[in-house]
Amino acid sequence: MSKRIIVTVDGFSSCGKSTLARALARELGYVYIDSGAMYRAITLYFLRNNLNWNEPDQVSEALKNIELHFEPNPTTLKSEMHLNGENVEYIIRDIVVAEKVSEVAAVKEIREFAVAAQQRMGEKKGIVMDGRDIGTTVFPNAEVKIFMVADEAVRVERRFAEMYNKNPNITIEEVKANIELRDYIDSNREVSPLRKADDAIVLDNTHLTEKEQLQVALEIVKPHLV
Ligand code: CDP
């Protein structure tokens, strides 16, 4: 049996991290965790309950009342985000959540809450997790760290196509502005900003298909499984 390791996939918004991380986990028979979904679900909770993430009392009260877990969809078998027992996988991808998530994810207490949960999920290894700080903060000792990049125009096109499918009222300008805003806030926040871990390998998928990027990642991972 091959060794069970931790693989982290970090990078900017909409560069295909979750597509790659999910495919890689399937290929390896590992668990896949979308850490961004957790910040999105927390953001949804704050928005729905009219809470202010800049008010420490409201943050600590909210965190006491938030339960997050992933559950496989019975039809697609893809793991989906549940917030206090409700499947929120679809709604957390909405632009309303995307517009606020980076502000919420910059709050120290909120990050501590999410990071602790993510570290528990990785205790038994055999996990691929994608996000912004997985290789730097959540699993600094991960065996394999991938940092994904892609040209901005390609990232905007990909995310626009994805969001347009669900909401034909969305414009490419809105999507572009959101990606730029999130990248800026994520890279410049005080607590674990988005950056490449020193030992991460850069994977540029601007010109790669999903199949090709998976092949590249498998070549990176394979030597660590023996
Ligand atoms: O899929 P996409 O690139 O749009 O982003 P995501 O992975 O769903 O993450 C949404 C947001 O959550 C990011 O823009 C970050 O603000 C935050 N996030 C984070 O701070 N740390 C992580 N490990 C993952 C996401």
pLDDT in tens, 116-141: 999 999 999 999 999 999 999 999 99
Rounded to the nearest whole angstrom, what is the distance from the C-alpha of residue 36 to the centroid of ligand 1? 4
Average pLDDT over residues 187-192: 97
Identify whether the C-beta of residue 200 lies closer than 8 Å to the C-beta of residue 147: yes
Residue 220 lies in a domain: no
Name 222's bridge partners: none
Residue 224 lies in a domain: no
Report pTM.
Answer: 0.97
Domain count, the chain: 1
Angle between helices 56-64 and 108-121 (to 10 degrees): 30
Looking at 54-209, which runs of residues are DSSP E strands? 68-72, 79-83, 86-87, 127-131, 144-149, 201-204
| pLDDT tens digits, 64-111 | 999 999 999 999 989 999 999 999 999 999 999 999 999 999 999 999
Residue 145 lies in a domain: yes
Residue 120 lies in a domain: yes
Q: Whose CA is nearest to atom 25 of ligand 1?
A: 36
Rounded to the nearest whole angstrom, what is the distance from the C-alpha of residue 182 to the centroid of ligand 1? 8
Residue among 158, 175, 186, 195 whose CB has most ligand 1 atoms within 8 A, to mutate: 186
Average pLDDT over residues 40-45: 98
Residue 55 lies in a domain: yes
Residue 151 lies in a domain: yes
Q: What is the CATH number of the domain that holds 164?
A: 3.40.50.300
Instruction: Quote the Cα angle for 66-72-73, to 5°.
Output: 105
Domain that holds residue 196: 6-214
Rounded to the nearest whole angstrom, what is the distance from the C-alpha of residue 2 to the centroid of ligand 1? 31
